[in-house]
Chains A and B, each alone.
Chain A
Amino acid sequence: MNTRRRNRLVAIVFVLGGTAVTAALVLTALDENINLFYPPERVVGGEAPAGVTIRAGGMVADGSVEHDDSGLGVSFVLTDYQGSDFVVRYVGILPDLFREGQGILVTGELDDERVFQASQVLAKHDENYMPPELAGIAEAESSTPPDPHAGAP
């Protein structure tokens, strides 16, 4: 085999090999690591599976935040202000922007009692930023304070 032909062969091997490796990696890694998003309506409606990592979102219902007497456990209700509410349980540090009436994203699993055991709680990071997942259920979204951007054309 002459050099040119071999070089071409090498190139083809690399292209095919690269594609194959990429595809394999993507497929194996993606499998268990995409988290579907569920709005409160679908969590309450039973569409969200239990025991699987999912993401959910909603507004923290007013007056629903209860801290444990000891430890860092906290539970609160996420609502879409349309009648769909569910309880979230979380142990750990809540984000700075967590407050009642705030739009929140949670990652975690629904347990057998349909309580959402959150492993991560995310709040809107600043007032210019709204998790697009929440935009769809935003009818009753609380506004955060001073937001000069809301009206900016």
Chain B
Amino acid sequence: MIVEFGHFSVVAALLVALALGVVGHVSAVNSVWRSLVATLASCQLLLLAIGFAVLVRAFLVSDFSVAYVAENSNSLLPWYYRVSATWGAHEGSFLLWILIMGVWTWAVSLGCRRLPDEIFGRVLGTMGLLNFGFLLFLLSTSSPFERLLPAAPPEGADLNPLLQDFGLIVHPPLLYTGYVGFAVAFSFAVAALIGGRLDAAWARWSRPWTNVAWAFLTVGIALGSWWAYYELGWGGWWFWDPVENASFMPWLAGTALIHSLAVTEKRGAFKSWTALLAIAAFSLSLLGAFIVRSGVLTSVHAFAVDPERGLFVLALLAIAVGGALAIYGVRAPTIMSRARYGGFSRELLLLVNNAILVVALAFVLHGTLYPLAHEAMTGGEKTSVGAPYFNRGFVPLMCVLACFLALAPVARWKRTPLSLLKNSGLMCVAALCMGLVLPLVLGGAFKVGAAVAVALGIWIMLVHGADVWRRRNSTTRGYLGMTIAHIGFAVALMGIGVTSEFSREVDVRMAVGDSVELNGVTYRFAALRRIEGPNYVADRAEFVTDSGVHLYPEKRHYPVRDQVMTEAGIAAGFVRDLYIALGSALPDGAWGVRIQDKPMVRWVWLGALLMAFGGVLAVTDPRYRRLRATDGLREARGSPWATSGAGPEPSAGEREGAPLARRKREPKAPAVGHSPTT
């Protein structure tokens, strides 16, 4: 009965989502309805939470009469994996997606309650309609509440062993929070377009939401990469797999978006472009869902394949994105903004940033969808696009991006005095020297990729560090957030460059007692034991290095699914990871063993975490709270929100407190001698 109650609760949420969609848009015109909007949003969240809790409970008590539980759980599974098994396959993970959408909707209804009726209603209305679509999809094609009655199986088929892991407990919720969070930016853009008010205020309202969603997505992707690194047993951390690309493309669009939003907020420029990016970021999230859930592309991460579901997601994608783009076509302003900026200005740099990110995005999108297009055009000839394709285009693009990033702290709005560039140039030379020398000295070989990455990374760090020092008495959280995120990018860049160029690996045949040397470290195969886990048995090897590090790679066998899994033995370190994976047992009792030495691989994820932290820190800038309060005041005075013309407001940035912030951030004289490097 409890399961049916959960099912019913989700059906009720469907109706509430539809009601929210309608009432939200109506309340934009007739504010009588406004008070109902927030209630509906809370109500929706409550119903979804009940539905989700019921499903989690079914897993915890191993209720195998529920088909979804029977297919993805087992009574031998430890309780924490039973909980995470809830989102271990398509149905439950989509319910989680919807629940997170409910949380975002509720958060917007709280966080934006002081916004004008028009925008408040339309944002929440749009989110309600989106969630209605999601719920319709869930309930009609993939309900997790279906029962196997009258005959419930006595035991479940177990969770895929690949997913029995800490990384997979937290990875999907974080990733979905990011994906779905872009729905807020999307809804803000749609609301602003409908109202014909693409302006600085709109940009400022959607900025914090976009930042938070982007930060979650960043952490989610980093976790996924980390999981692939230690769980798939290959020691790689990025494979350009279609499903990885599916999460990376919204990230690229989102990164472009948070930068473009800055220009729109501060200078009132790039408005239509920003709106388009907001639509694109969420569209790409939906595209990702389509790729993962339709099985249209080959991937090791894809869910079970079902054509009906794929078509439904595609239809959802077409309606949501097509609709938003149609509104864009009808409502976007045709007049160019009148914001002025000079040859070398922050506007121009951000424009370059956007151009590079969008080119990178188009490039990845092309590589991801190419096999599909090829098959359609040749009548079934199958291809795949390898990682070299992606690296060939993506790496140079990111290097160019890094060059411009190193100029970011120096650039000013409108026009940058060239004298400011001098310091940055000096640091560039210093960084170049270090980039040439450091990898050579520490790595023992000259590698172009590593040298470029280290030089660029150090340059970015020097420039940002010097700038923070110069402004040490007048930093805002927004500024610090940006700096930390940029330094995170530099850290990731250096990690990627070094680990790609200096990683070493050997595949060897080893029996107990054998030793192998790799990159100056000797690894001895010390012992092999058979151990028993809760739901698996494993061969556990012990390797000892000459410096006394112990590594314990395992080969696990999960009997319920008769599946074999490699657990890598990893000695993690800030400077380098030692990584051992067991291959297969060979006929004479020896083992195939893969040994890897991966310098600085942790920097990749550390950089991503810094980026995410920076994004969140910027949101806590009191500026956003203060300005929102002012907007409320303005609204109370009945000021200009009622006008719904499509006219641009070039001076919006000027009017709304931006000059104050800017004055604070731009001391007249660049303090040249203050950088810590000179």
B157 at the interface (CB under 8 A from A): yes
Question: Which chain B residues border A98 with CB–CB below 8 Å?
Answer: 584
The 4 lowest CB-CB distance pairs between A and B, nearest first, are A93-B583, A33-B389, A29-B392, A37-B382
Contact A7/B341 with A25-B359, A37-B382, A130-B305 known, Cβ cut-off 8 Å: yes
Chain B residues contacting A53 (CB-CB under 8 Å) are 386
**Which of B16-24, B294-302, B637-645 lies at the binding interface?**
B294-302
Q: What chain A residues lie within 8 Å of B386 (beta carbons)? A: 33-35, 53, 107
A14 to B354, CA, bound (A): 10
8 A-B contacts, Cβ less than 8 Å apart? Answer: A7-B339, A18-B362, A25-B392, A32-B388, A34-B386, A107-B386, A127-B563, A152-B304
Q: Does A112 contact B (CB under 8 A)?
A: no
Interface residues of A in 38-75 (CB under 8 A from B): 53, 55, 67, 69-72
State which residues 556-608 of B face A: CB under 8 Å. 560-566, 581, 583-584, 586-588, 592-594
CB proximity of B205 to chain A, nearest CB, Å: 25
A83 CB-CB contact with B under 8 Å? no
Q: Is B70 an interface residue (CB 8 A)?
A: yes
Whether the Cβ atoms of A36 and B381 lie closer than 8 Å is yes
Quote the shortest CB–CB distance from A128 to chain B (angstroms): 4
Question: Interface digits, B466-503 against A, CB 8 Å rule (1 contact, 0 not)?
Answer: 00000000000000000000000000000000000000
At the interface, is chain B mostly helix, strand, loop or mixed? mixed
A129, B300: Cα distance in complex, Å: 7
Minimal beta-carbon separation of A7 from chain B (angstroms): 7
A8 and B272 alpha carbons, distance in the complex (Å): 13
Given the complex of chains A and B, what is the CA–CA distance between A18 and B353 in angstroms? 11
- When the two chains form their complex, are residues A146 and B509 in contact, meaning their CB atoms are under 8 A apart? no
By a CB distance below 8 angstroms, the chain A residues around B351 are: 10, 14
The answer to whether A152 and B71 touch (CB under 8 A), given A25-B392, A36-B381, A131-B298, is: yes
Beta-carbon nearest neighbor of A57 in chain B? B382
Q: Return chain B residues, CB-CB under 8 Å to A131.
A: 298
User: Given A4-B338, A35-B383, A94-B592, is A129 in contact with B587 using a C-beta cutoff of 8 Å?
Assistant: no
Identify which of A18, A93, A144 contacts B359 (C-beta below 8 A): A18
Contact A145-B562, Cβ < 8 Å, known A34-B383, A98-B584, A131-B298:
yes
Given A128-B304, A129-B300, A149-B71, answer yes or no on A91-B507 (Cβ-Cβ < 8 Å).
yes
- Number of A-B residue pairs, CB cutoff 8 Å, is 152
Residues of B with C-beta under 8 A to A128:
89, 160, 303-305
**When the two chains form the complex, which single residue of A28, A30, A132 contacts B385, counting CB atoms closer than 8 Å?**
A30
Residues of B within 8 A of A22 (CB): 359, 362-363, 366
Give the distance in Å from the alpha carbon of A49 to the alpha carbon of B380 in the complex: 18
Kindly supply a per-residue 1/0 record for chain A positions 74-114, scoring 1 wherever the CB is within 8 Å of any chain B CB and 0 otherwise.
Answer: 00000000000000000111101110000000010000000
* B71 pairs with A25, CB closer than 8 A: no
Which of A4, A36, A145 lies in contact with B383, CB distance below 8 A? A36
Interface size class of A (residues with CB under 8 A): 35 or more
Decide: A94 near B336, CB < 8 A? Known: A129-B302, A131-B298: no
Whether B358 is near chain A, meaning CB under 8 Å from some CB there, is yes
- Nearest CB on A from B361, distance (A): 9
The yes or no answer to A1 lying at the interface (CB within 8 A) is no
A37 touches B304 (CB 8 A): no
- How far is it, in angstroms, between the C-alpha of A107 and the C-alpha of B387 when the chains are bound? 13
Within 8 A of A (CB), among B324-372: 336-341, 348, 351, 355, 358-359, 362-363, 366-367, 370
Q: Which residue of B lies closest to A66 (CB)?
A: B587
B614 interface contact, C-beta 8 A: no
A30 — nearest CB in chain B belongs to which residue? B389
Q: Assess whether B336 is in contact with A7, with CB atoms less than 8 Å apart.
A: yes
Could you say which interface size class chain B belongs to? Answer: 35 or more
Q: List residues of B whose CB falls within 8 A of some A CB.
A: 67, 70-71, 89, 157-158, 160, 162, 233, 295, 297-305, 336-341, 348, 351, 355, 358-359, 362-363, 366-367, 370, 374, 380-386, 388-390, 392-393, 397, 507-509, 560-566, 581, 583-584, 586-588, 592-594
**Once the chains bind, are B587 and A67 in contact (CB under 8 Å)?**
yes
Contact status of A96 and B305, CB under 8 A, knowing A3-B340, A36-B381, A131-B298: no
The answer to whether A18 touches B358, judged by C-beta atoms less than 8 angstroms apart, is: yes
Contact of B363 (CB < 8 Å), options: A3, A26, A33, A145: A26
* Bound-state Cα–Cα, A53 to B351, Å: 39
Interface contact B583-A72, CB-CB below 8 Å: yes
Q: Report yes or no: B587 in contact with A25, Cβ–Cβ below 8 A.
A: no
CA distance A52 to B531 in the complex (A): 45
The answer to whether A152 touches B67, judged by C-beta atoms less than 8 angstroms apart, is yes
B156, chain A: closest CB distance, angstroms: 9
Q: Is A139 at the interface (CB under 8 A from chain B)?
A: no
CA distance A55 to B515 in the complex (A): 35
Asked whether A34 and B384 contact (CB < 8 A) given A22-B362, A94-B583, the answer is yes
Cβ of A21 < 8 Å from any Cβ of B? yes
Do A93 and B594 touch across chains, with their CB atoms under 8 A apart? yes
Q: Are A33 and B388 in contact (CB under 8 A)?
A: yes
Nearest Cβ distance between residue A44 and chain B, in whole angstroms?
17
**Residues on B with beta carbons closer than 8 Å to the beta carbon of A28:** 392-393
- Cβ A96 vs Cβ B70 within 8 A: no
With contact pairs A26-B363, A33-B385 given, residues A96 and B233 touching in the complex (Cβ less than 8 Å)? yes
A128 to B382, CA, bound (A): 21
Bound-state Cα–Cα, A145 to B588, Å? 27
Complex contacts, A36 vs chain B, CB 8 Å: 381-383
- Which chain A positions have C-beta within 8 A of B304? 128-129, 149, 152
Q: Give which listed residue, A21, A29, A34, A72, contacts B508 with CB less than 8 A.
A: A72
User: Would you call A146 and B562 a contact (CB within 8 A)?
Assistant: yes
Residues of the B chain whose Cβ atoms lie less than 8 Å from the Cβ of A96: 233, 563-566
**With known contacts A4-B336, A34-B384, A93-B581, A29–B300 Cβ distance under 8 A:** no
Whether A29 contacts B393 by the Cβ 8 Å rule is yes
CB distance from B24 to the nearest CB of A (A): 34
How many Å lie between the Cα of A131 and that of B305 in the bound state?
11
**A25 and B363 within 8 A (CB):** yes
Chain A, 1-21, CB within 8 A of any chain B CB = 3-4, 7-8, 10, 14, 17-18, 21
Q: Is B305 within 8 A of A26, CB to CB?
A: no
